[in-house]
Amino acid sequence: MPATQLFEIYEIVMREQLKVQNLALFVHESQWKKMLAYGAHENFLMSNDEMLETRFSELNQLQFNNVQLPDWVQGFESIIPVYHNEQALAYAFIGDLQHDGINHLKEVLPFIHTITNIIVVAIENKRLTKDTILQAQMQREMELAARMQTMLFPAHLPADKRVDLAATYLPHQQVGGDYYDYIQLNQDELMICLADVSGKGISAAILMSNFQANLNAKAHHFATLKELVIDLNASVNKSAKGEKFITAFVGVLNTKTHQLRYINAGQNPPFIYSDGTFQLLEKGSTGLGMFEDLPFVNEGLAELKPNDILFCYTDGIVEQENETGDVFSLEILMEMIQGNADVFTMKDLHFRVLDKFNDFRKETASIDDVTLLSCRIVPGS
């Protein structure tokens, strides 16, 4: 039954059957609200929300056993509290009982208490049920959003006789702001991208989906990486309007010459591991969307020999703390790459890194999305 109908039933029982002449019922939802009143002074407890919270907090301290009512309770003989999990759900103010068969209010208070509890708890259950339904709907929407976001990532990454490319994405929530991609530009060149939106959740995922669409639409239409990144910055500014920004690493790898052209736009610097040495890929620009016009854009150039590993990552892995406050750090990540550089595939490398990562943090919750993107030039290519 609708809450209004339940209140009507309650009023009929109280007014017509029990002959209660004065009644005021207050129910706490997000705040205290007067749900029903008759007979009492119309301005009773009509003060501001802060005043109501103070008054009802005062009532909450009472035990309601032969206690003297506060001075501000005028025109009422009794107060009926309704509690759930030690939290006050409602207060019914009762006064002026005029029933021929009842000599004193105390004779009927147990029944008044019962009917008040039944009505208030019924309405609370309706609210909780509605909240549960809404949460279930939101959960389904989040699951759908997560599936849609997964569809934005490339379905397959090349692992052939020339290059071995792998990616792993672990969202902090069901949807997140990390993104990776692979775009085959021509027979010999492929573009890789790893990006991270400031913030988390739905808003970050929406901005990232817009970035993904722009990158895929424009990747083939720019002569240089610099022109592409400048255009992507304009797109992020248009979408985010200065409220968010995106850090990104965009690189073009020639699988024939093994040269890598790249721009690092504020992203944690990827590195190339080669025969025990590390080369950080730091050249680039500021994060996309930080400035209307990028203050500088520098294109970097690197070369990967066969068996060299290009490893990209987002800050969710290198900023993760464990139970004692230690940080996973870039140094630990580099040690993992150096100690496992002989793995058969890049996918195997990711498994080992994440095993170490999870063992490091143990029961500590992850702080952010974690995304890994790695590439190795296959020997003999």
Question: What DSSP string describes 72-100?
Answer: T--S-SEEEEEEETTEEEEEEEEEEE--T
| pLDDT band (50, 70, 90) for residue 310 | very high
pLDDT in tens, 325-346: 899 999 999 999 999 998 989 9
Above pLDDT 90, what percent of the chain?
Answer: 44
Mean pLDDT of the residues in the chain: 86
Mean pLDDT of 62-80: 69
Mean pLDDT of 104-124: 82
Domain boundaries along the sequence of the chain: 3-132, 153-377
Lowest mean pLDDT among 117-131, 208-222, 305-319: 117-131
- Return the CATH number of 3-132, one of 3.40.250.10, 3.20.20.30, 3.30.450.20, 3.30.450.40: 3.30.450.40
CB of 57 closer than 8 Å to CB of 72:
no
Could you tell me which residue, 44 or 211, shows the higher pLDDT?
211
268-291 CB burial, b ≥16 within 10 A, e <16 = bbbbbbbeeeebebeebbbbbbbe
- Mean pLDDT for 117-133 is 83
**Residue 3 DSSP code:** H
Q: Which whole number is the average pLDDT over 196-216? A: 87
On the question of pLDDT at 60 being above 80, the answer is no
Q: Assign domain 153-377 to its CATH superfamily.
A: PPM-type phosphatase domain (3.60.40.10)
Q: Which helix (H) or strand (E) holds 197?
A: strand 189-197
Is-same-fold flag (3-132; 153-377)? no
Between 81 and 152, whose confidence is greater?
A: 81
Q: Is the pLDDT of residue 61 over 70?
A: no
Strand order in 87-97's β-sheet? 32-38, 20-28, 87-97, 78-84
The mean pLDDT of 155-161, rounded to a whole number, is: 83
- DSSP labels, 248-299: EEEEEEETTT-EEEEEEEBPPPPEEEETTEEEE---EESPBTSSSS-S----
